[in-house]
């Protein structure tokens, strides 16, 4: 299994050949149970938070939800809307009755998200249909949470605690369950982008096979068919493929370079071919691949051109960071508790940065203590490991630049546009937390999880109170929360809150149980790829 099993090998040999195998199996089963328990807890907590919001927030109270639903309804009728298509109010579940004319101003988004939503929006009575559409969006987000844990297992295979922590961090970050609870395409965008990063990291570390390249191409195509930033992931997928072929295929340099370029072009071209038709349609209709400038003109917003100024502004980055906690968008300064809560996200960020610094110092010390010229035989394809980290580190600023470009050209500052990169943030934060005291027994993750739950509850209650103009409540107390749920159609709010609380407590119990099982895990080098495992590229088998 790894070094943990190898350390026990001499002891096992004294008692016979079966002992080492039995020990390895027990250690592997313990590791698998620990990871499964921790991830199940994160999934349970995420679904509890999204379900409360999906049930408790009034229809179309979240900005833009009505227009995403309108898009899905039009798709269900068999055609794509344009930015000037009227919202089909007569077909919308629980439509607003104010008589205002509306148009589908989300029609510049690709249609992948709206195809399954168009199906569930036809299920049962209107209230059931809208709830089903919201819960489907929540399921996309939940799958994304699992993929974040998988991403951590790929890039940090020797520390399974990092996978559990990463899943919990992304599950409880207020923006992720909040926006996943509504009919928004951000949940599917988060899922598809994270899937592309997982496929890319696996390909870089273990080598390209046809199945891995197919998965990478499909994930990048799904991201591009959901939101415009997915187009950048297509370029990333092609580059990752070329680098993986160069690192893992043994051929003369000239032929290997041609093979890498050709395979990268094949993967990127296949992904692009499946999605470019929609962006060319946007260009034909609106004069731009994304249609953003045309959409802004329809609202009467003046043309802007200051993305460079936004990128260079530390205040802009801080504003996006604050937006990930949702509640900072609302005027709640009169609530005394905010004076403390406003500092909590930044305190968490500082703790994570301190942990990353500790992890970096430890890594440098280990490298410095290694004898000159020595290398670890257990480490397979170290350049592939470095490349997988470069993939994650490079995707994060690229996602930020895309958000700033959109915002600086007349868009709006929405932190949810960072969700395609939020898995990278979660894995990095989990690495930092794992380097801090108390991480081995799960105390660090538990403390941060409780802090995130407090902030999530506050974010949700303030969102409903502020946007619904329900007046200023004394804060996220259970009584105030139950009253808001009752105002928005939940017949038994206390029952819903009790169920969600029990689910969260059960999730935290699974988290701690899983981390306790993993506490015996020792840091070890990743397992080498089996010598007999082939890498298939262009029909040829190459051993690594």
Given this model, what pLDDT does residue 226 score? 96
Residue 224 sits at φ, ψ, to 5 deg, of -70, -25
Helix and strand numbers (H, E) in the chain are: 22, 2
Given this model, what pLDDT does residue 125 score? 92
Nearest to 113 by CA among 274, 240, 227: 227
Nearest to 293 by CA among 111, 83, 103, 114: 83
Q: Is the dihedral of CA 31, 37, 42, 43 positive or negative?
A: positive
Distance CA 26, CA 238 (A): 40
Task: Report the run of H or E that residue 218 belongs to, with start and end.
Answer: helix 210-224
Given this model, what pLDDT does residue 477 score? 61
- Name the packing angle between helices 186-206 and 126-155 (round to 10°): 20
Q: Which two tokens stand for residue 125?
A: 């009575």
Given this model, what pLDDT does residue 303 score? 64
SS3 content of the chain, % helix, strand, coil (to 5): 70, 0, 30
Specify whether the CB–CB gap between 267 and 237 falls below 8 A: yes
Burial class (CB in 10 A: 0-12, 13-18, 19+), 361: exposed
Given this model, what pLDDT does residue 466 score? 56
Which own/partner pairs from 147-151 qualify as long-range (CB within 8 Å, at least 24 positions apart)?
147/191, 147/194, 147/195, 147/198, 147/423, 148/194, 148/423, 148/426, 148/427, 149/35, 149/39, 149/42, 150/198, 151/194, 151/197, 151/198, 151/201, 151/392, 151/423, 151/424, 151/427
- Name the packing angle between helices 344-369 and 422-434 (round to 10°): 70
Q: Is the dihedral of CA 9, 14, 20, 23 positive or negative?
A: negative
Distance CA 131, CA 111 (A): 20
Specify whether the CB–CB gap between 149 and 164 falls below 8 A: yes
Hey, where are the domains in the chain?
3-368+378-543
Task: Report the run of H or E that residue 502 belongs to, with start and end.
Answer: helix 493-518
Rg from Cα positions in the chain: 25
Burial class (CB in 10 A: 0-12, 13-18, 19+), 196: buried
> Torsion-angle region of residue 56: left (phi > 0), alpha (psi -120 to 50) or beta?
alpha
Distance CA 193, CA 214 (A): 15
Nearest to 148 by CA among 499, 431, 341, 414: 431
Nearest to 334 by CA among 166, 171, 471: 471
> Torsion-angle region of residue 207: left (phi > 0), alpha (psi -120 to 50) or beta?
left
Give the list of residues 6+ apart from residue 152 with CB closer than 8 angstroms, or none: 162, 163, 165, 166, 167, 426, 427, 430
Give the CA dihedral 342, 343, 348, 351, nearest 10 degrees. 170
Provide the 8-state DSSP code for 89. Answer: G
pTM of the model: 0.87
Distance CA 134, CA 129 (A): 9
Given this model, what pLDDT does residue 268 score? 96
**Mean pLDDT, contiguous 10-residue spans, the chain (544 residues):** 38 49 82 94 96 87 92 95 94 88 93 97 92 96 97 94 96 94 96 97 95 96 94 96 94 92 96 95 92 83 76 85 73 54 85 93 76 46 88 94 82 85 96 92 93 81 56 55 70 83 95 89 47 43 40
């Amino acid at each position: 299994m790894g070094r943990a099993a190898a350390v026990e090998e001499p002891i096992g040999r004294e008692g016979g050949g079966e002992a080492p195998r039995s020990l390895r199996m027990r250690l592997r089963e313990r590791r698998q149970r620990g990871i499964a328990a921790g991830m199940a807890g994160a999934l349970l907590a995420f679904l509890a938070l999204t379900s409360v919001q999906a049930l408790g927030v009034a229809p179309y109270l979240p900005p833009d939800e009505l227009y995403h639903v309108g898009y899905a309804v039009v798709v269900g009728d068999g055609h794509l809307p344009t930015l000037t298509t009227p919202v089909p109010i007569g077909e919308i579940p629980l439509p607003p009755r104010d008589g205002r004319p509306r148009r589908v101003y989300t029609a510049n988004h690709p249609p992948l998200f709206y195809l399954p939503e168009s199906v569930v929006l036809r299920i049962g009575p209107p209230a059931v249909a809208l709830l089903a559409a919201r819960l489907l969006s929540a399921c996309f987000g939940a799958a994304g949470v699992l993929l974040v844990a998988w991403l951590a297992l790929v890039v940090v295979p020797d520390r399974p605690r990092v996978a559990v922590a990463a899943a919990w961090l992304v599950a409880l970050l207020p923006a992720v369950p909040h926006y996943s609870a509504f009919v928004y395409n951000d949940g599917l965008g988060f899922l598809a982008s994270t899937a592309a990063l997982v496929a890319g990291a696996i390909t870089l570390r273990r080598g390209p096979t046809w199945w891995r390249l197919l998965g990478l191409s499909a994930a990048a195509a799904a991201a591009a068919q959901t939101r415009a930033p997915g187009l950048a992931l297509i370029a990333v997928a092609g580059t990752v493929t070329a680098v993986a072929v160069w690192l893992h295929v043994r051929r003369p340099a000239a032929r290997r370079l041609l093979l890498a370029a050709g395979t990268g072009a094949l993967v990127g071209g296949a992904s692009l071919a499946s999605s470019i038709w929609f962006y060319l349609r946007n260009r034909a209709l609106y004069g731009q691949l994304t249609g953003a400038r045309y959409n802004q003109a329809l609202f009467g917003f003046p043309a802007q051109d200051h993305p460079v100024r936004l990128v260079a502004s530390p205040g802009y980055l801080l504003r996006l960071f604050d937006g990930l906690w949702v509640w900072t968008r609302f005027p709640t300064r009169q609530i005394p508790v905010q004076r403390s809560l406003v500092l909590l996200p930044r305190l968490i960020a500082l703790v994570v940065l301190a942990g990353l610094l500790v992890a970096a110092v430890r890594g440098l010390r280990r490298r410095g203590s290694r004898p000159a010229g020595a290398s670890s035989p257990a480490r397979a394809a170290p350049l592939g490991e470095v490349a997988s980290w470069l993939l994650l580190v490079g995707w994060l600023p690229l996602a930020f630049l895309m958000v700033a470009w959109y915002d600086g050209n007349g868009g709006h500052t929405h932190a949810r546009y960072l969700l395609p990169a939020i898995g990278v943030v979660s894995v990095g934060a989990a690495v930092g937390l794992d380097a801090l005291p108390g991480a081995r027994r799960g105390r660090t993750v538990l403390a941060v999880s409780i802090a995130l739950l407090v902030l999530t509850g506050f974010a949700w209650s303030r969102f409903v109170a502020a946007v619904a103009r329900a007046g200023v409540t004394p804060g996220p107390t259970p009584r105030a929360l139950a009253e808001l749920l009752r105002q928005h159609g939940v017949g038994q709010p206390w029952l819903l809150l009790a169920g969600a609380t029990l689910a969260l407590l059960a999730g935290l119990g699974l988290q701690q149980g899983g981390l306790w099982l993993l506490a015996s895990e020792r840091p070890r080098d990743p397992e080498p790829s089996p010598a007999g495992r082939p890498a298939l590229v262009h029909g040829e088998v190459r051993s690594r």
